[in-house]
Structure formats: C-alpha cells, structure tokens
Amino acid sequence: MSQDFDIREPQSGKVGRAGAGLHEFVLHLQDLVLASSDVREFLAATAAIFATQLSQPGNHLSCGITVVRQKRPVAVASSDTLARNLDELQNSFGHGPCLTALRTKSMVHVPDLDADVRWPKYNQEARKTGIGSILAVPMHLQAPSQAVVNLYSPNTDGFPHHGMDAAVGLTGIAAKALDLALNIAQLRDARDDLAAALKSRTVIDTAIGVIMAQSRCSRDAAFQILVNASSHRNMKLKEVAAGIISGIAGERVFPTTYDE
C-alpha cells in the first residue's frame, strides 16, 4: 500500500510540488484509516510509508511503530523484518531509545550507537544487526494512548537536522490520523463488547427460564440456583447457562435478536 510522495524540504523551484506531495500524504493516511481493518494494519502501512519517505540514497531507513492502548494489547508494526527484530530486542531488554521516548514523550536521538553509553547492552546488540544510528519520535495523541515512531539507519549520523525535522513533521501528521484510527477502533471494541454482553445475557436468561420451568420457582430463585452452580463448578455463569441449554435442546450456538 506504500506510495511515493515528494515531501522533503522544498528547494528552489520545487515549493509547489512539495506542498502537493504533503497534501497527497495526508489524503493517503486518511484513506488508510478508512481502508484498514484494525489499528495494527494501519500502523504497518504507515511504517512502510515512513521508511519510504524518509530514506535517502545510501541511507535506507527501517521504521517501527509502537502503540500502547489502555486495557488493550500493545500494537507493534514495522516496515521490515529488521525494524521488527530491533523493536523486539528492545522490548526484551526493557529499555532503549524508543522505550525512553515513549515514556518521556520526548524525541531521543542516538547519532552513533558505538559512542552512546545510555543503553550499552541494547546498543551493542543493535549494532550487530548493522544499525549505526536511531531516532525515536513520540506521537502526541489526543486519545488516552501512547505511541512512538522508531527509525533505524545503517549509517552513523544517519539523521541530519533536516532529516529529523522531516521525521518530526511526518509524525505530527500521522498522529492525527492515528487518533482517528484509535477512535474508530474504540467504537468497534465497544460494539463487540456490547454484542458479547447481549449474547451472554440471552444465554443466561434462557437458562433461567429452563430452571424456572423445571423447579417451579421464581426468577430470583432460578438465578440463585444458576449462581450456586457456577460457584460450585468454578465456571463462568454463561458457561453453566450454555451447558443447561445444550443439555436440553442440544444447541451450542445461541444467536440473539441483536445480531447483525
């Protein structure tokens, strides 16, 4: 899904083209938000775009993006295997430039892995992969989430000032698109949680009706019987209810009137 846009610093006679490229970049990110099935897919496409746009002849960059969402698994995406391995390596150590940028919400620049002394073990292992320098740029999100763009260069001093400025600029634009993607994902999660809750309620209500008919008792008494069975068997209430229904009707799939 990667696409080339001329969004580098405008040079003489190229201002109009640079502006057009930036506009195309924004539109492409918006399209990715709408076309991606989940946040991870959007991040993978965005990481590939970052690597393509920020690379220069003789300085091919790799990009990883990490997103931490409340009560959700950490989402990690990368432009290639190298970026994925470097991100996983850093997570295994529990420290490094990208994790530091994520925690402090400040850009972290490692111009020379051999000379940097802040994360010696990680730097040493990362250097073995052929990486010379790293730039980690946090995304400032409106959503209650944290994200960081991890850029890896095979060269020492692989991120000159104009390269860092370009990375920060793209990250700011991408953060707005990521906010939108996270909001959409939150709505999807809420919908899925609601659907699961309604399905559980349907199963439990049906089982209560069965108990009422069999025991000739009130709804409250039937519910208490179901709760006691759940406690004694150390099973979830829904699982016990499903077992009761299955034992009578043989059903294992329980559609609700709210199913799409």
CA 256 to chain centre: 31
Closest Cα partner for 59 from 162, 157, 126? 157
Q: For the chain, which domains are there?
A: 15-188 (3.30.450.80), 191-249 (1.10.10.10)
Which tens digit of pLDDT belongs to each residue from 103-142?
A: 999 999 999 999 999 999 999 999 999 999 999 999 988 8
Tell me: pLDDT of 247 over 50: yes
Looking at residue 148, its pLDDT comes to 95
Token output for 148: 């960081």
50-59, 123-132, 209-218: least confident range = 209-218
| DSSP states along 49-62 | HHHHHH-BTTB--E
The residue that leads in pLDDT, 177 or 143, is: 177
Closest Cα partner for 224 from 235, 236, 237? 237
Token output for 213: 């008919």
